[in-house]
Amino acid sequence: MMWFAVLAGAAGCYALKFVGSVIPAHILEQPTVKKIVLLLPISLLSALVAVQTFATSQSLVVDARVPALAAATVALRFKTPFILVVLIAAATAAALRYFGLAV
Amino acid sequence: MNAVLTDWNIARRQIVGNAVSIGFAVAMYGVSFGALGTTTGLTIPQTMALSLLMFTGASQFTIVSTLASGGTALTAVIASWLMGTRNAAYSMRMTPILKASGAGRLVAVQLTIDESTAMGLAQDETAFEGRASRLAFWSTGLSVYLLWNLATFIGAISVSAIGDPKSFGLDAAIAAGLFALVWPQIKSRTDLSVAFGGALIALALTPIVPPGIPVLAAALVSVIVGWATSRRLS
Shared domain for A69 and A103, answered yes or no, is yes
Return the number of CB contacts < 8 Å for A and B. 296
pLDDT of residue B21: 94
Which of B43, B60, B86 would you mutate first to test chain A, the one with the most A CBs within 10 A?
Answer: B86
- Interface contact flag, A50 B178, Cβ < 8 Å: no
Same domain, A33 and A66: no
Q: Which of residues 61-90 of A touch B (CB under 8 A)?
A: 64-65, 68-69, 72-73, 76, 81-83, 85-90
B165-174 pLDDT per residue, tens: 888 898 999 8
- Taking only the tens place, the pLDDT of each residue in A48-102 is 999 999 999 899 999 999 999 999 999 999 999 998 999 999 999 999 999 999 9
Q: Kind and range of the H or E element at A55?
A: strand A55-56
By C-alpha distance, the chain B residue nearest A87 is B173
Chain B hits for A52, CB-CB cut-off 8 Å, are: 171, 174-175, 178
Q: Does some domain include residue A15?
A: no
- A92–chain B nearest CA distance, Å: 7
What gap in Å lies between CA A33 and CA A90, rounded to an integer? 38
Pick from A12, A38, A90: CB nearest B173: A90
Q: What is the mean pLDDT of residues B139-159?
A: 94
Instruction: Please give the pLDDT value at position B130.
Output: 94
Return mean pLDDT, chain B.
Answer: 93
pLDDT at B168: 87
Domain spans of chain B?
2-185, 187-234
Q: What pLDDT does B234 receive?
A: 66
Q: Is A16 inside any structural domain?
A: no
Full domain range(s) for residue A40: 24-54
Task: Answer left, alpha or beta for residue B99, where phi above 0 means left and psi between -120 and 50 means alpha.
Answer: left
- Predicted local distance difference test score (pLDDT) of residue B14: 95
Assess if residue A78 is contained within a domain.
Answer: yes
β-strand partners of A83:
none
Residues B96 and A25: their CA atoms lie apart, in Å, by 8
- Rounded Cα distance, A27 and B224, in Å: 18
Between chains, do A97 and B169 touch, taking CB under 8 Å as contact?
Answer: yes
Smallest Cβ distance to B182: which of A5, A42, A57? Answer: A42
Give the count of domains, chain A.
Answer: 2
SS3 (DSSP) at B34: helix
DSSP 8-state secondary structure symbol assigned to residue B168: G
Residue A97 lies in a domain: yes
Task: Compute the nearest-CA separation of A64 from chain B (Å).
Answer: 8
Q: What phi and psi values does residue A60 have, to the nearest 5 degrees?
A: -90, 125
**Collapsing DSSP states into helix, strand and coil, what is residue A94?**
helix
Q: DSSP class of residue A56?
A: E
| Contacting residues of A for B43, CB less than 8 Å apart | 2
Q: Is there a domain that residue A34 lies in?
A: yes
Tell me the torsion sign for CA atoms B136, B178, B63, B216: negative
Its ipTM equals 0.94
| Residues of chain A contacting B184 with CB distance shorter than 8 Å | none
* Cβ distance of B76 and A35 shorter than 8 Å: no
Average pLDDT score over residue span B62-66: 91
Instruction: Tell me whether residue A2 is in a domain.
Output: no
Residue A14 lies in a domain: no
Instruction: Find the Cα–Cα–Cα–Cα dihedral B61, B66, B68, B71, rounded to 10°.
Output: -170
**pLDDT band per the 50, 70, 90 thresholds, residue B180:** very high
Of B203, B219, B225, which is closest to A50 when you measure between CB atoms?
A: B203
- Residues of chain B positioned with their CB less than 8 A from the CB of A14: 53-54, 109-110
* In-domain check, residue A67: yes
Dihedral sign, CA of B27, B201, B95, B121?
negative
In DSSP notation, B102-161 reads: THHHHHHHHT-SHHHHHHHHHS-TTGGGGHHHHHHHHHHHHHHHHHHHHHHHHHHH-SS-
Contacts of A97 in chain B (CB under 8 A): 166-167, 169
Q: Are residues A68 and A99 in the same domain?
A: yes
- Does B203 contact A12 at a Cβ distance shorter than 8 Å? no
Q: Nearest residue on chain B to A10, judged by CA atoms? A: B54
What's the length of chain B? 234
Q: Residue B175 has what DSSP assignment? A: H
